[in-house]
Copies of this chain bind each other. A is one copy, B any other.
């Protein structure tokens, strides 16, 4: 059996309450007593049993982070931002993989509720959010990142996708480009919808016609990027400039171009989203919209901490959901 507060109290010749106070940095304690307890803690090798504390305080010091997949530099950079903030506050992060499947996602939410996490940060795997409400029902604060969902209201940290896409287009247009292809992810997802919106808005503002044949939608993965670029290049009159709505699509598209080089493909220029460590070796890339990924994670963690504070403080109705948009930056290659 592990050493408990009782053992420490015995060793230090004080009560368990005093030990608890030392453990929780209670100010009202004589320095001599405090140091004696600390000494005993060291000698006995005491470690707090957080399960027991949780039972009392109904706060576990853990938060859940639910992402669509783990092998994804975007999600994991956000995760590093989350972890960065939460660690310094003494929180543990339970990372859950939704496997890009709403059923898995719902399943993991159940787990997190049972683990009694103090809060949850979610990068939604789809546009469906009704299953998130079980968290609110359990009184667990939620912050969403990157995407918004239908059927559930909560704090969210999003990139300014519309203006990000718009500014990239504006930049290209200013260099003389007048015809653009588009390769995008599922329009069911808010972030991809917004990027397309920014694309369209730029075309509209500069009087460039929308050509449906060179606008392609798929999912968010490498394969899809490959296939969509293939489709694009098979068009009668393919564009020379292509806006691609995320990194993985860009990787796939680039792969196609590498494997099928020709006169047609040689003149392709890609404007992409997300600045990853490998972006710089991708050919055909002219410009990239960079999201502040780490910052998005940090901001989400901070917002969650605020909510957790609020909750344990006042019992009144919580403030309405907050929506934070973080600016993107443009990177020219």
Contacts and interface: CB of A to CB of B under 8 A. Distances in A.
A263 interface: no
Contacts of A236: none
Contacts of A281: 251, 254-255, 258, 282
Contacts of A113: 47
Interface in A10-60: 45, 47-52, 54-55, 60
A50 to B, nearest CB: 5
A277 interface: yes
A92 to B, nearest CB: 5
Nearest to A276: B71
10 contacts: A2-B139, A45-B137, A47-B113, A47-B138, A49-B116, A50-B115, A70-B76, A80-B97, A92-B115, A94-B94
Most B CB within 10 A of own CB, among A47, A51, A97, A251: A51
A73 interface: yes
Interface string A255-273: 1001000000000000000
Given A70-B77, A71-B80, 8 more contacts: A48-B114, A51-B51, A62-B94, A69-B80, A70-B76, A70-B79, A71-B77, A278-B278
- Copies in the assembly, this chain: 2
Contact of A95 (B2, B51, B94, B137): B94
Contacts of A50: 114-116
A111 interface: yes
B49 A52 contact: no
Interface of A: 2, 45, 47-52, 54-55, 60-62, 69-73, 76-77, 79-80, 83, 87, 90, 92-97, 107-108, 110-116, 137-139, 222, 251, 254-255, 258, 277-278, 280-283
A70 B60 contact: no
A282 B47 CA distance: 49
B96 A93 contact: yes
Nearest to A254: B281
A116 B116 CA distance: 14
A140 to B, nearest CB: 11
Nearest to A113: B47
A34 B195 CA distance: 53
A241 to B, nearest CB: 21
Contacts of A72: 76
B222 A277 contact: yes
Nearest to A258: B281
A255 B116 CA distance: 46
A312 B283 CA distance: 55
A45 B71 CA distance: 34
Nearest to A110: B47
A92 B80 contact: no
Nearest to A65: B95
Contacts of A61: 115
